Amino acid sequence: MLRIAVSEFGEPEVMKLEEASLPEAGPGQVVVSIKAAGVNPVDTYIRAGLYGTRELPYTPGFDAGGVVEAVGKGATRFKPGDRVYTAGTLSGAYAQFALCLESQVRALPEKITFSQGAAIGVPYATAYRALFQKARAVPGETVLIHGATGGVGTAAVQMARASGMVVIGTAGTKKGRDLARENGAHHVVEHGKPDHLKDVMEITGGRGVDCIIEFLANVNLGGDLKTLAGGGRVVVVGSRGAVEIDPRDAMGKDAVVLGMSLFNATETELKSIHAAIFAGLDNGTLNPVVGLQFPLAQAPEAHHAVMEQKALGKIVLVP
Ligand code: NAP
């Protein structure tokens, strides 16, 4: 089979296509034939050597849509031929086949394509955990999805809308604003405008929002705190540097800033997250948006594209 291998940390070009032998499913494991693999920003941080520890060489990628190829002893939830998505793998998703723990594999509803399946694992689980397990957002509240056009942002807009929240989404371009609206945002604003949070205050009649799901906290956190209603919560999902805030903006409103990393989710939380995602995919309220597709050999181009935010929705590799 073909896979991408990283033998040294560095620029996207350290990713090389190579031949490898097919993985074999051991006890409690599943081999998935990958039809599409999702490219997440975290894949680029790991490849650059900036995130966690990873032994070299390795194959990148957590998320994929595909079909079960083989199951090991004691793995009873799946059989060969089942349509699945992965939320983590043992051997890496940028490949034609991946070895997974059975617990990393989830059923993919018929109506969801394999490319859409590659857009679920990290993005949808992150959006769900941020909205419901961290912000504890409830129907009737107003939520600002600060970055509503990416893999996680589109998922968060769909989930918040389906759950009965008033959804305000932000985007950098006209196409992005259209996408946010199509996904269910009631209101959209342009985050490139320096005073865009004033637009958010106007939309809420000066009250502010109950929750903010924040994808670029190093730029926005100070303004976010000023845009919260009393008892408001900001969940920091993405940040690429330091930021200055005025703590009084939080103090006066009993506001809360919550950090979150999907990698800290417990097995119990993950079980609940993926049950909710399956229900939403199955009943049609969740519909992953695929932006750009690249052949597996073009993994370096895909990594450049994800950091330059060139896609609306998810970037996917097709092996
Ligand atoms: P993505 O698909 O590349 O999307 C990036 C998003 O950021 C786009 O919606 C983009 O909007 C938006 N953005 C750009 N400039 C912005 C600004 N000034 N203010 C607000 N948003 C802005 O990436 P993703 O997969 O959705 O991930 C988003 C972030 O969350 C990344 O930093 C990623 O590392 C992080 N993340 C964290 C976790 C976790 O567990 N904490 C999990 C997954 C992802 P436009 O393109 O329309 O400008």
Domains of the chain: 2-120+289-318 (3.90.180.10), 123-263 (3.40.50.720)
Q: By alpha-carbon position, which residue is closest to atom 13 of ligand 1?
A: 147
> How many whole angstroms separate alpha carbon 99 and alpha carbon 94?
12
Q: What is the distance in angstroms between the CA of the first residue and the CA of the last residue of the chain? A: 10
User: What is the per-residue DSSP string for 19-33?
Assistant: E-PPP---TTEEEEE
306 CA to middle of ligand 1, Å? Answer: 10
Sign of the dihedral defined by the CA atoms of residues 196, 161, 86, 55, in that order? positive
Atom of ligand 1 nearest to the CA of 261: 40
Q: By alpha-carbon position, which residue is closest to atom 1 of ligand 1?
A: 150
Q: pLDDT over 90 for what percent of the chain?
A: 98
Structure tokens of 105? 């594999």
Q: How many residues does the chain have?
A: 319
Local structure of 100: helix, strand or coil: strand
Mutual angle of helices 151-162 and 267-283, in 10-degree steps: 70
> How many whole angstroms separate alpha carbon 19 and alpha carbon 124?
31
Residues with Cβ within 8 Å of residue 178, at least 6 apart in sequence? none
What's phi and psi for 262, nearest 5 deg? -60, -30
pLDDT score, position 142: 98
Local structure of 150: helix, strand or coil: coil
The residue-averaged pLDDT of 97-102 equals: 98
pLDDT confidence bin for 311, thresholds 50/70/90: confident
Find how far residue 250's CA is from the centre of its chain: 27
- Establish whether residue 134 lines the binding site of ligand 1, counting it when its CB lies within 6 angstroms of any ligand atom: no
Q: Please give the helix or strand (H or E) that residue 83 lies within, else none.
A: strand 83-87
pLDDT tens per residue across span 225-279: 999 999 999 999 999 999 999 999 999 999 999 999 999 999 999 999 999 999 9
Q: No. of H helices and E strands in the chain?
A: 10, 15
pLDDT score, position 111: 96
Residues with Cβ within 8 Å of residue 57, at least 6 apart in sequence? 5, 6, 7
pTM of the entire predicted model: 0.98
> How many whole angstroms separate alpha carbon 310 and alpha carbon 302?
10
> How many whole angstroms separate alpha carbon 9 and alpha carbon 53?
11
pLDDT score, position 309: 83
pLDDT tens per residue across span 51-94: 988 899 999 999 999 999 999 999 999 999 999 999 999 999 99
208 CA to middle of ligand 1, Å? Answer: 22
Q: By alpha-carbon position, which residue is closest to atom 3 of ligand 1?
A: 309
Q: pLDDT over 70 for what percent of the chain?
A: 100
> How far are the Cα atoms of 146, 169, 278 from residue 196, in angstroms, in the given order?
11, 11, 34
Pairing of strands 142-146, 105-107: unpaired
Residue 168 has pLDDT above 80, yes or no: yes
Structure tokens of 127? 């959006």
Atom of ligand 1 nearest to the CA of 129: 40
pLDDT score, position 226: 98
160 CA to middle of ligand 1, Å? Answer: 17
> How many whole angstroms separate alpha carbon 159 and alpha carbon 274?
13
